[in-house]
Amino acid sequence: METYRSAFLQSLENPEDFWREQARSIDWFKFPETVLSRDDRGNHCWFADGEMNTAYLALDYHIDQGRGDDIALIHDSPVTGTISHFTFSRLRDEVARFAGVLRSLGVHKGDRVVIYLPMIPEAVIGMLACARIGAIHSVVFGGFAAKELAGRIDDAKPRVLLTASCGIEFTTVIPYKPLVDEALAIASHQVENCVIVQRPQCVAELGLADHDWRQVMAGAVPADCVKLAATDPLYILYTSGTTGKPKGVVRDNGGHAVALRYSMEAIYGARSGDTFWAASDVGWVVGHSYIVYGPLLAGCTTILFEGKPVRTPDAGTFWRVLEDHRVNIFFTAPTAFRAIRKEDPEGELLKGRELSDFRTLFVAGERTDLPTYQWLCDLLQVPVVDHWWQTETGWAIAANPMGIDPQKSKAGSVSLPMPGFDVRILSENHQQPGPGEEGDVVVRLPLPPGCLPTVWGDHDRYLDSYLTQHPGFFHTGDGGYFDQDGYLFIMGRTDDVINVAGHRLSTGELEEVVASHPAVAECAVIGIEDRDKGQIPIGILLLKDGVNITKNTLQQEVVAIVRRDIGAFANFKRLVVVSRLPKTRSGKILRQAMRKIADGMNFEIPATIDDPAILDEIRDELISDKIGFISESKI
């Protein structure tokens, strides 16, 4: 039997042999002779002369193997009270027809299509239809406000936009059409056509450039899979960086398919025919990799869940889905379990459920706190695997390889680097500290297949964001350490990215929005620890001279602006007004210093701060009961 250790060592010592072998697990149109090479920008790339099609591998391939009548996708939607099943054949036929619709709207290989949809089958169909004809999709999370959608439209410059008449949050119907219209009005790029899924909960009025999904599908001519180079882009997924402008992470076709196929077996232990459920959103990388592509590439049934872990209808929803669909492998963010545990601490709602098919639980997206980890282990009696990755990598950098050689787990750790990822800890001056000592978590180049080759339209930003801090290494933005047994511990971001309920946000972006309030002279946004959401953003504001506004009004107005310009999911609810912000002599706000105060760490005032009394004031505000740890104290 292959051991984790031998696979890991081979992947680093002889990456070409290792990944050539893994590449055999997918059905190429042309098997790549070149495994690892460099493109004309000097970038590493995988399988450069291979030809394939990701949608073919996800659907047609399984039908060719005689699995057309097996279930590929289950849409389980407690918010609409419906459950629907799609066989591989039905899903392929719908994807092929929708690919024909895109063709008829002038979408060709390399064109972009923005997808702004709730968790409905059309989101998966739209993604795979793009993949079928070589168009590049860019899915935008449905919780993003119009302005955020507009920014992504301007960057990706799509020919077509796919949306729905509404999304449903618990019992609230959220009309999408006004948001989309506003985004299109803000954006300077002109989108030629919009295709809209009309939902019965709220029917949208269509404009001249709008098409009703059902109507265009009725007359569609199915389109075949096109042959693509492995290095052709499959999608762009925007993620928060340190500045206000999100980064368009690009994913290629070939490396992505090989890496996901490998991860499904080696990490998740998934076999063809298994049922795999990732309770996330198609708008995030987890949704791309493990709701849509990974499970389908591996011939599994995937579940698209349109609901929440609580109140849809109660905190037993997850257990109901696990039982009803005989889920084998389940993956979600720890924040979801914190929400369940809060409502059902004793796990009463799990009792009596028949979960004998359930093998392993995987969590990722943020740190798992020890009480939640322990609660899950005790309650579920299956292995609970915390694993660490990010939008940039597309699959797990560190995990427990449950499919090849399960290792003992260690609470608080994300286990071991996965084959292909040569993870190191480096100090600021590029030294490797010893076991237990924290530093930047980096990955020695080349990154394995599946990881981003560039940032859409801005290769310099790719180099600046990831490759310049430690030459020869990819900078993950996370801090952490290895223990003496080689287990990795991730301690959190070292940059201005925060993680709110498993949602990645940039404090820089929040600051731009908060500073747009007319009373605000300057502001800093930092993430503070929160019992339920992991982290929560808090604004520290300096007001303009002579402004006359009460703190309550200010708070309500700033909160409303953030909800309007970014989205409610940012959970921006509290702010602190101060008389000065701590700055360096050159005028840079000392966010890290404030973050340390907020973390309640033992903080020594740096000599560069001009007025230490300000820090005391902020410290008092931040850690006093008035602000406290604030998840209950909504305004």
Which two tokens mark 203? 């029917």
Task: Work out the widest C-alpha separation in the chain, in whole angstroms.
Answer: 74
Distance from chain centroid for Cα 535: 16
Smallest gap from residue 243 Cβ to ligand AMP (A): 16
Angle between helix axes 254-266 and 15-23 (nearest 10 degrees) is 90
Question: In angstroms, rounded to a whole number, what is the distance separating the alpha carbons of residues 342 and 336?
Answer: 10
Of residues 152, 161, 157, 159, the one with CA closest to residue 114: 161
Which residue(s) pair with 417 in the sheet?
Answer: 398
CA–centroid distance for 574 within its chain: 25
Considering only residues 344 through 403, tell me which ones interact with ligand AMP, judged by CB under 6 A: 364-367, 386-388, 390-391
**Which of 504, 533, 583, 595 contacts ligand AMP by CB under 6 A?**
504
- Selected from 53, 328, 335, 391, the binder of ligand COA by CB under 6 A is 335
Angle at 77 between CA 134 and CA 196, to 5 degrees: 45
Q: Judged by CB under 6 A, which of 36, 543, 571, 595 binds ligand COA? A: 571
Instruction: Quote the least distance from Cβ 571 to ligand COA, whole Å.
Output: 5
Considering the complex, state which of residue 239 and residue 506 has its C-beta at the smaller distance from ligand AMP.
239
Question: Closest separation between CB of residue 149 and ligand COA, Å?
Answer: 12
Binding residues for ligand AMP, how many (CB under 6 A)?
Answer: 20
Out of 285, 322, 576, 622, name the contact with ligand AMP by CB under 6 A. 285
Instruction: Name which of 299 and 453 has its Cβ closer to ligand AMP.
Output: 453
Question: Does residue number 490 form part of the binding site for ligand AMP (CB under 6 A)?
Answer: yes
Strand, coil or helix: 235: strand
Question: Helix, strand or coil for residue 610?
Answer: coil
Task: Name the residue nearer to ligand AMP (CB basis): 78 or 246.
Answer: 246
Binders in 505-564 for ligand COA, by CB under 6 A = 533
In the set 151, 158, 167, 295, which binds ligand COA (CB under 6 A)?
Answer: 167
Chain CA centroid to CA 425, Å? 24
Shortest Å, Cβ 195 to ligand COA: 20
Report d(CA 293, CA 447) in Å as an integer.
Answer: 20
Question: b/e map of 507-542 (b: 16 or more CB within 10 Å)?
Answer: bbbbbbbbbebebbebbbbbbbebebbbbbbbbbbb
Site string for ligand COA, 13-52 (x = CB under 6 A): ----------------------------------------
Nearer to ligand COA, 128 or 168 (CB): 168
Quick one: 132 or 137, whose CB is closer to ligand COA?
137
- 263 contributes a contact to ligand COA by CB under 6 A: no
Stretch that binds ligand AMP, among 8-16, 35-43, 339-347, 474-482 (CB under 6 A): 474-482
70 contacts ligand COA (rule: CB under 6 A): no
326 within 8 A of 316, measured Cβ to Cβ: no
In the complex, least distance from residue 386 CB atom to ligand AMP, rounded to whole angstroms:
5
Cβ-closest residue to ligand COA? Answer: 365
- Provide, rounded to whole angstroms, the least separation between the CB of residue 278 and ligand COA: 7
Interacting positions 174-203 with ligand COA (CB under 6 A) = 174
Site string for ligand AMP, 414-453 (x = CB under 6 A): x---------------------------------------
- Binds 496: which of ligand COA, ligand AMP, none (CB < 5-8 Å by kind): none
Query: What's the closest the beta carbon of residue 32 comes to ligand COA, in angstroms?
Result: 31
Place of tokens 């762009």: 236
Contact assessment for residue 370 and residue 411, using Cβ atoms and an 8 Å cutoff: yes
Q: What are 586's two structure tokens?
A: 């050159």
Cβ-based nearer residue to ligand AMP, 315 or 500? 500
With beta carbons less than 8 A apart as the criterion, state whether 480 and 401 touch: no
Binders of ligand AMP among residues 175 to 204 (CB under 6 A) are none
**Which CB sits closer to ligand AMP, 390 or 469?**
390
Among 306, 478, 495, 530, contact with ligand AMP (rule: CB under 6 A): 478
CB-nearer residue toward ligand AMP: 9 or 491: 491
Of 78, 100, 142, 233, the residue at the interface with ligand COA (CB under 6 A) is 142
Question: Contacting ligand COA (CB under 6 A), which of 100, 295, 309, 401?
Answer: 309
Of 111, 117, 123, 125, which Cα lies nearest the Cα of 144? 117
CB distance 253 to 133 below 8 Å: no
* Residue 142 near which of ligand AMP, ligand COA, none (CB within 5-8 Å, type-dependent): ligand COA
Closer to ligand AMP by CB, 301 or 335: give it: 335
Residue 267: burial class (beta carbons within 10 Å; 0-12, 13-18, 19+): buried
Site for ligand COA in 451-510 (CB under 6 A): 501-503
Q: Taking contact as CB under 6 A, which single stretch among the options 25-33, 329-337, 487-495, 622-630 is the one that binds ligand COA?
A: 329-337
Q: Which of the choices ligand AMP, ligand COA, none does residue 453 contact, using the CB cut-off of 5 to 8 A by kind?
A: none
- Residues 358-417 binding ligand COA (CB under 6 A) are 364-365
Residue type, 438: E
Phi, psi of 530, deg, nearest 5: -135, 135
What is the spatial distance between Cα 290 and Cα 287, in angstroms, rounded to a whole number?
Answer: 5
Q: Name the minimum Å distance from CB 181 to ligand COA.
A: 17
- Picking from 43, 563, 46, 12, the residue whose alpha carbon sits closest to that of residue 258 is 46
* Gap between the Cα atoms of 259 and 237, Å rounded: 17
User: Is position 316 an interface residue for ligand COA (rule: CB under 6 A)?
Assistant: no
Give dist(CA 27, CA 61) in Å, integer.
Answer: 8
DSSP 293-344: IHHHHTT-EEEEE-S-SSSSSSTTHHHHHHHHTT-SEEEE-HHHHHHHHHH-
CA proximity to 264, closest of 291, 225, 230, 237: 291
DSSP 81: T
Q: Does 280 bind ligand COA (CB under 6 A)?
A: yes
Q: Which stretch binds ligand COA (CB under 6 A): 107-115, 398-406, 566-574, 587-595?
A: 566-574
Both tokens of residue 582? 């701590």
Give the helix/strand (H/E) hosting 236.
strand 233-239
Tokens of 610: 């001009």
Distance CA 235, CA 114 (A): 10
Cβ neighbors of 16 (< 8 A, separation 6 or more) are 35, 36
Positions that interact with ligand COA (CB under 6 A): 142-143, 167, 169, 174, 280-281, 284, 286, 308-309, 332-333, 335-336, 339, 364-365, 501-503, 533, 568-569, 571
Positions that interact with ligand AMP (CB under 6 A): 239, 284-285, 364-367, 386-388, 390-391, 414, 476-478, 490, 493, 499, 504
